[in-house]
Each structure stands twice: as structure tokens, then as C-alpha cells.
């Protein structure tokens, strides 16, 4: 019915043409409704042309200006939206509560995108108790770290017949996201890495994490064991609004002390992070690292989202590997630029990616490839289901590898899941199959962990 209404609206208003000096309010409203319909059909460029014509009128009604703001924010054009707010006077009349409400939440959206979470909360404070606002208000309070108020707003919706099942489901999902991030939790499980050419590894891992008073940050302890050797990671991180993160960690492996420091900054349409580490444990590269290798190095990652359908990203990594007794294994420089097209951004999501992976290394060739290039294509998706937002994440990538003394195609299908056993318990697992010429044979990886929050 909604699409039928939109198409009929477009047909009805198609004859309306912007003339020099828009004549009357009726035409303004007709054009605004046409722009709104085009926006809902994802015809953003056509919609924007109409809005820009309307904005030539200095007395344009505020609700239409806010519709234009919705268009900009929907395309992640936060800087343009903020400039629009700054340079075009837009103050709703004090007696129009609904317009003031919408204006305040639009300001809050831009402030969250800029990382100003407390200021965002200040804007919505007078309107948080409005019936239709509680779930979205809870989101802003959660971003600001005010979890008591977040809980109060969400609890008001629980089993309340005044709210639709859809609103209660959104509230439950937001509550679940908060619990998984901020509650104390402990997890334990094991991994299996099997390669016929190099053998099988079965590392065991356990983690504990707890928020610090007033949600200032989180403290955690990670344990990783492999072939009677173990690694401990005592870490402290400061998280702001689920986006910015600062981390310090003290590491211990086989009578060796190390450290790790990390920083991440995320805004509306970009993210950048950097991690430095010394005597950290290698857990991800390949089964070739089965000798409990320790690593020193630096990793930098960044991505930019110019539109809500495209992501440009890349990473650089330098890593030097040693055995716990100090024996040198080798070192690797990795460059990885990529491009992602988001075909569908709501569950089930769908995205396509292309990229280039380049590795140059030196050292023991048993462990370190001295030259490695791979161009690849990848498809992936994410599906949420169930009352407590269980998750399935699938992926498939393949590309052509070229290195010293080897070349050929590589394929890697993978499947990951988070299944909610109860409000306070999740089962996490995954399986990945790697077929390539680097490891010499097909390699299978699987993991299973139980997480409990208390």
C-alpha cells in the first residue's frame, strides 16, 4: 500500500514544475511530497534537485527543511547536514511541540555522528518521555554511557500493551546490544585448525570482561593455551559511545612480558584505528605458526564511506615474529586496500567487495612467504533473527594468488554465528575452509565458545 501511495503521489504531482519565485504554499507542499516520495524510492538525486529548488525560498517551512536533512543524513553526508543547520536559520516556534521534538532529534543525530554524545542527550532530554520516542531516546542515552536511564526507558516498553510488537522487539534488541557490550561476562571455548600438510592445532581460550564503575571503561583478562604453553592478556579499555576506544594491555607469555596499546576513532562515515604490540601472541595467521610465535609490530586500519552504498578502506601491518626463547622467525609487511559495495544494508544484508592483498617478508621460508599477491572478490551477508537478536554471518571469497614458487586460485567459504541460548547466555561459533597454494593443502578452522553474562 505504501508503494502504491508513493507512485500515485508521483503521478499526481508530476505536472508540478518549479517556477521562478514559487507562487504559493500549495505548490510548495506538492513539490515537497514529490521529493519525499522520490527519497523513499531511493531516487535521492532527483529528490535533492527538488529540495534545492524549494530551499531557494527563505521562508520555506521548517518541516520541509528537516525532510532535506533526513535525505542528507540517510546518505551519511553529516558534514553537509551540519553546515546546513549552521548557516540556515531554523528555529521552530515554541508552541509547536512536535516540530521542536523532530528538530531536537535531528540535532542529536548530528552530534552523535560528531562524537558529542552528552550534548546529544541534552537536546532530546525534554522529549524522551514522548510515547514514540522512548526506544530512540534509549539509544542516545546508551551512546552517552548513561545506562540507568537507558534501562528505565527500555523497561517502560516491556510487556506494555500501549506499544506495538515491533516497538517492543526494537527495545529488546537494543537492550540485548547493551547487555552484550557492558555487562560482566565470561566466555570459554576451543578452536580447531587442521591442515593435512602441517598438522592440527587445538588451542583453548577463555575471556573475562567487566565494566568499571559508572561505565568509565572495561577491564578484562584473556587466556590462550597451546601445546602446554599459555598467554595472558590483562587489558583496560576506555570506550566512548560504543565508537571511540583507547586500550592498554599487559601481556605475559612463557616468562616474557609484553604490552599492547590501541586507539580507535569512529565517526558517522569514517573510522581509523592503530595498534602497537610487543610480544603479543599470534593466533590468526596460519597453522604454520604452531610454534607459539610471539609478534612485535604496528597495525593501522581506516575506511571511509563516501555514500551509504560504498566503503573505501585499507590497512597496513608490520609484524616481526620470534619464538619465546628469542629465536628470530621472520617479518612481514602487509598492504591491503579494498572497495565494498553495499547492495542491501538491512537484515539480511548483502555486500560485494574487491581488494588486493600484498605481503612482502623475509626470514625462515617455512613460516614467512617472501612475496605474495592476491586480487580477490568477496561476497558476504549478515542475518539477524529471534527475540534476542541471534546472528548468522556468511562469506565467500576467491582470488588468484601469485608468490615465490607458487601460484593459483584460492577460495574461502566461511560461516559464523551468535545464537542466544537465553537473555544472559550466547553460543558463539564458526567454521572456515581455506583452499590455496600457500599452506600447501586445504585448511579447516572451527571454533566454539560459550558466553555467560552476569
User: pLDDT of 178-223, one tens digit each?
Assistant: 999 889 999 999 999 888 877 888 999 999 999 988 778 899 999 9
Are 400 and 374 in contact, with CB atoms under 8 Å apart? yes
pLDDT at 14 over 80: no
Residue whose C-alpha cell reads 604453553 in the numeric block: 229
Which neighbouring-strand residues pair with 393?
Answer: 382, 416
Average pLDDT score over residue span 308-316: 95
Higher-confidence residue: 320 or 442?
Answer: 320
Average pLDDT score over residue span 121-147: 90
pLDDT at 15 over 50: no
Residue whose C-alpha cell reads 549478515 in the numeric block: 382
What burial class does residue 425 get, using C-beta atoms within 10 Å of its C-beta: 0-12 exposed, 13-18 middle, 19+ buried? Answer: middle
- d(CA 383, CA 376) in angstroms, rounded, equals 24
| 15 phi-psi bin (left φ>0, alpha ψ -120 to 50, beta other) | alpha
Residue whose C-alpha cell reads 528537516 in the numeric block: 66
Half-sphere exposure of 157 (CA within 13 A, CB side): 28
What burial class does residue 150 get, using C-beta atoms within 10 Å of its C-beta: 0-12 exposed, 13-18 middle, 19+ buried? Answer: buried
- Read out DSSP for 336-376? EEEEEEEEE-SSSPEEEEEEEEEEEEEE-TTT--SEEEEEE
Q: CA 134, 138, 144, 147 torsion: positive or negative?
A: positive
- Read out DSSP for 307-340? ETTEEEEEEEEEEEEE-TT--EEEEEEEEEEEEE
Q: In which band, very low, low, confident or very high, does the pLDDT at 227 lie, cut at 50, 70 and 90?
A: confident
Q: In which band, very low, low, confident or very high, does the pLDDT at 87 lie, cut at 50, 70 and 90?
A: confident
Are 120 and 144 in contact, with CB atoms under 8 Å apart? yes
Which own/partner contact pairs does 39-44 have at CB distance under 8 Å and 24+ positions apart? 39/67, 39/70, 39/71, 39/74, 40/2, 40/6, 41/6, 44/71, 44/74, 44/75
Kindly report which listed range (21-25, 62-66, 283-287) carries the lowest average pLDDT score.
Answer: 21-25
Residue whose C-alpha cell reads 526507558 in the numeric block: 153
Q: CA 171, 172, 177, 182 torsion: positive or negative?
A: positive
Q: In which band, very low, low, confident or very high, does the pLDDT at 161 lie, cut at 50, 70 and 90?
A: confident
Average pLDDT score over residue span 355-373: 87
Residue 440: per-residue pLDDT: 63
Q: In which band, very low, low, confident or very high, does the pLDDT at 21 lie, cut at 50, 70 and 90?
A: very low
Half-sphere exposure of 49 (CA within 13 A, CB side): 7
Residue 137: per-residue pLDDT: 94
Higher-confidence residue: 12 or 387?
Answer: 387
Q: In which band, very low, low, confident or very high, does the pLDDT at 375 lie, cut at 50, 70 and 90?
A: very high
Residue 438: per-residue pLDDT: 67
Cell for 350? 548483502
Cell for 164? 506495538
Residue 447: per-residue pLDDT: 96
The answer for residues whose C-beta is within 8 angstroms of residue 185's C-beta and 6 or more apart is 207, 208, 209, 210, 451, 452, 453, 454
- d(CA 61, CA 92) in angstroms, rounded, equals 9
Which neighbouring-strand residues pair with 322?
Answer: 294, 328
Q: In which band, very low, low, confident or very high, does the pLDDT at 5 lie, cut at 50, 70 and 90?
A: very low
Amino acid at each position: 500500500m505504501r508503494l502504491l501511495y508513493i507512485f500515485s503521489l508521483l503521478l499526481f504531482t508530476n505536472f508540478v514544475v518549479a517556477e521562478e519565485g514559487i507562487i504559493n504554499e500549495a505548490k510548495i507542499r506538492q513539490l515537497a511530497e514529490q521529493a519525499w516520495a522520490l527519497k523513499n524510492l531511493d531516487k535521492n538525486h532527483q529528490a535533492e534537485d527538488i529540495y534545492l529548488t524549494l530551499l531557494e525560498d527563505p521562508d520555506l517551512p521548517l518541516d520541509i527543511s528537516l525532510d532535506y536533512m533526513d535525505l542528507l543524513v540517510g546518505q551519511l553526508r553529516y558534514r553537509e547536514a551540519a553546515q546546513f543547520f549552521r548557516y540556515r536559520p531554523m528555529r521552530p516556534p515554541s508552541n509547536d511541540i512536535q516540530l521542536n521534538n523532530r528538530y531536537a532529534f535531528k540535532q542529536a543525530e548530528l552530534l552523535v555522528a560528531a562524537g558529542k554524545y552528552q550534548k546529544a542527550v541534552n537536546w532530546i532530554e525534554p522529549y524522551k518521555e514522548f510515547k514514540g520516542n522512548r526506544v530512540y531516546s534509549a539509544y542516545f542515552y546508551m551512546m552517552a554511557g548513561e545506562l540507568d536511564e537507558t534501562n528505565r526507558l527500555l523497561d517502560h516498553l516491556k510487556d506494555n500493551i500501549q506499544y506495538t510488537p515491533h516497538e517492543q522487539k526494537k527495545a529488546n534488541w537494543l537492550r540485548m546490544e547493551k547487555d552484550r557490550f557492558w555487562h560482566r561476562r565470561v566466555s570459554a571455548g576451543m578452536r580447531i585448525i587442521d591442515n593435512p600438510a602441517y598438522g592440527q592445532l587445538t588451542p583453548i581460550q577463555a575471556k573475562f570482561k567487566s565494566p568499571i564503575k559508572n561505565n568509565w571503561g572495561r577491564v578484562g583478562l584473556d587466556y590462550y593455551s597451546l601445546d602446554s604453553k599459555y598467554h595472558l592478556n590483562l587489558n583496560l579499555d576506555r570506550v566512548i559511545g560504543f565508537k571511540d576506544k583507547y586500550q592498554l594491555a599487559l601481556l605475559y607469555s612463557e616468562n616474557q612480558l609484553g604490552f599492547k596499546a590501541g586507539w580507535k576513532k569512529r565517526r558517522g562515515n569514517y573510522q581509523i584505528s592503530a595498534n602497537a604490540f610487543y610480544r603479543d601472541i599470534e593466533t590468526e595467521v596460519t597453522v604454520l605458526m604452531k610454534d607459539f610465535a610471539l609478534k612485535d609490530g604496528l597495525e593501522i586500519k581506516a575506511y571511509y564511506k563516501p555514500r551509504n552504498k560504498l566503503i573505501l578502506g585499507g590497512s597496513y601491518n608490520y609484524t616481526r615474529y620470534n619464538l619465546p626463547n628469542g629465536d628470530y622467525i621472520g617479518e612481514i609487511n602487509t598492504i591491503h586496500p579494498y572497495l565494498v559495495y553495499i547492495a542491501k544494508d538491512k537484515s539480511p544484508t548483502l555486500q560485494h567487495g574487491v581488494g588486493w592483498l600484498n605481503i612482502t617478508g623475509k626470514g625462515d621460508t617455512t613460516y614467512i612467504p617472501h612475496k605474495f599477491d592476491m586480487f580477490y572478490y568477496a561476497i558476504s551477508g549478515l542475518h539477524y533473527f529471534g527475540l534476542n537478536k541471534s546472528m548468522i554471518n556468511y562469506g565467500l571469497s576467491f582470488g588468484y594468488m601469485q608468490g615465490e614458487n607458487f601460484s593459483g586460485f584460492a577460495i574461502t567459504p566461511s560461516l559464523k554465528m551468535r545464537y542466544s541460548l537465553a537473555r544472559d547466555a550466547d553460543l558463539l561459533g564458526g567454521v572456515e575452509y581455506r583452499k590455496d597454494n600457500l599452506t600447501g593443502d586445504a585448511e579447516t578452522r572451527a571454533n566454539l565458545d560459550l558466553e555467560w553474562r552476569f
